[in-house]
Amino acid sequence: MPFYALDKMKVEDGGVNPLHKVKSVAGELMKVGIVMKPEGEGPPLHEHPNEEQFTLILEGQMHFILGDEDRIVGPGTLVHVPRNTRHRSRPVNGPCTFFAVKSPAGDGTLHQDYKIRPEAKEIESLYPGKKP
């Protein structure tokens, strides 16, 4: 069985936002990654039509919009993003590092199943200074 040392994994751009840095690996049914985001950086409101996601905050704080909820979460918080659930996340008060698990594995990239929501621009306007 494969073992992965995080300090030896290649750091890649996050895809949707090149300022995100990702260390990831895919198995047969799921993909996982350590994602590092600078403060204020994240994709606009979107959903994953074909994937379910779990995010565990490791360091820093993240502002989440998840469905109709809007909150700031910190280290030790596990967030479940069901398929077809609108969501958006941004590090606040500094950068944030989190562990993400998505299923199914698809092509193995964490940003593969991404569909921007029609109300994304409207939601972004509610949070001045945050980049889409």
Decide if pLDDT at 16 tops 90: no
pLDDT over 70, % of the chain: 95
What's the average model confidence in pLDDT over 30-51?
94
How many whole angstroms separate alpha carbon 66 and alpha carbon 34? 20
Q: What is the value of pTM for the model shown?
A: 0.90
pLDDT over 90, % of the chain: 75
- Model confidence at 131, pLDDT cuts 50, 70, 90, reads very low
Cis peptide before 104 (omega within 30 of 0): yes
Distances (CA, A) of 11 to 7, 18, 22, 29, 130: 9, 11, 6, 22, 24
Q: Give me the half-sphere count of Cα atoms (radius 13 Å) on the Cβ side of residue 89.
A: 29
What's the average model confidence in pLDDT over 52-80?
97
Q: Which amino acid is present at 125?
A: S
Q: Which amino acid is present at 28?
A: E
User: Which class for 120: exposed (0-12), middle (13-18), buried (19 or more C-beta within 10 A)?
Assistant: middle
pLDDT for residue 15: 77
pLDDT for residue 19: 84
- Model confidence at 75, pLDDT cuts 50, 70, 90, reads very high
- Going by C-alpha positions, the residue among 104, 122, 118, 86 that lies closest to residue 26 is 104
What's the average model confidence in pLDDT over 108-114?
88
